[in-house]
A = this chain, B = another copy of it.
Amino acid sequence: MNLGNRYGSHRVLAPEGALPKAATRLDAQTPPLDNEIGIRVKALHITSTSFVRIWQDSDNNEERFASIMLDIVKRQGKFQDPATGSGGVLLGTVDFVGPALKVDLSPGDQIVTMVSLALTPLRLERVIEINQPFGQVEVDGYAILFESGLWAKLPEDMPPHLAMMALDVAGAPAFAAKYVHAGQRVLVVGGGKAGLLCLHEAKKRAGVTGQVILVEKDEARAQLALSLGLADDVIVADAGNGLEVMRKVEEATGGALADISFNCASLPNTEMSTILATREDGRIVFFSMATDFSRAALGAEGAGRPVEMIIGNGYLPGHAQIALQVLRENQPLRDFFSGLLPKS
């Protein structure tokens, strides 16, 4: 059998010896090997940090956005934002399942990949449509999943694009499910897609004796979280302003600050407000792909604040089920997201 490396190193064209995430160029042309999955790609869900950045660079122009995307994929053989290093996930139809793989998957199955586009060999024939509010892009393309690659079959009880959105940010609710305990004061920074799913799970776990607080710059988004019952308190503030956020969280918690915080911001430079708003010996999980390691590490040291800081994302077993379950449990949240989908 013609087997590739489990982690995809055989598809790295440059630099030599790199793994696919660190690679500058992947081979997306060679047909899938006997331990790979080939996927006809229908849509991409772009990570919020990257979508926001490229959308700004495109002056909110769809054609420019499409041409930047096509250019990135052509040059790199994968969709990875050169500025932030992040990617997203894809939705497609299984075209080929390598005979060496023992997986419950057949050609024709619809799946979403649960590994980042930043390491997924991809070629794009064309960009069909851009859904800006949702951060999704309809495309024609072909992708390869390595033996180690994670994927999830599309559930039958929700639209594919809704499921793809939830699966892209699956880490956030899964980490909330793992780390939030009853009675805790929970802070979520950023009320985007990841933030809203995270809030649902945090609220459920912290329960009636807990307190869930959202910090969000956009007044409408903050009100949405309140009206959906996802937060006990919202603080409308720029998370780039550490001292202001700290003061307001102090106020909201009677001086106690947060026991555990989830940073789900789309924009950079929100590490410090999360650190200052979290109590001593508290815990922070960073999901924002705009997180800067040294700002977090030296920021906590500079403030003399002993907090356990965890690199979110990554992989937590069961994260796909947890993320989809949020949309099953919370009809108002599901209705809100569904309203952002194209009507087709």
Interface positions, chain A 126-140, Cβ under 8 Å from B, are: none
Residue with the greatest number of chain B CB neighbours at <10 A, chosen from A7, A21, A302, A305: A302
Q: Nearest-CB distance from A37 to chain B (Å)? A: 13
Task: Report the minimum CB–CB distance from A125 to chain B (whole Å).
Answer: 25
Given contacts A148-B303, A306-B314, A311-B309, contact A7 B298 (CB under 8 A): no
Is the CB of A269 closer than 8 A to any CB of chain B? yes
Q: Which residue of B lies closest to A9 (CB)?
A: B243
By DSSP majority rule, is chain A's interface helix, strand, loop, or mixed? loop
Does residue A297 face the partner (Cβ distance < 8 Å to B)? yes
A294 near B115: Cβ-Cβ < 8 Å? no
* CB <8 Å contact, B310 and A310: yes
* In contact, A310 and B313 (Cβ under 8 angstroms): no
Q: Is the CB of A293 within 8 A of B307?
A: no
Known A22-B272, A291-B293: A115·B308 in contact at CB below 8 Å: no
Q: How far is the CB of A36 from chain B (nearest CB, A)?
A: 14
| Known A-B contacts A7-B243, A7-B303; A298 and B313 likewise in contact (beta carbons under 8 Å) | yes
The yes or no answer to A240 lying at the interface (CB within 8 A) is: yes
Given A7-B276, A302-B116, A304-B150; A294-B22 close (CB under 8 Å): no
Q: Quick check: B295 and A85 within 8 Å, CB to CB?
A: yes
Min CB gap A39→B, angstroms: 16
Residues of A within 8 A of B (CB): 5, 7-9, 17-22, 84-87, 114-116, 118-119, 148-150, 171, 240-243, 269, 272, 276, 286, 289, 291-317
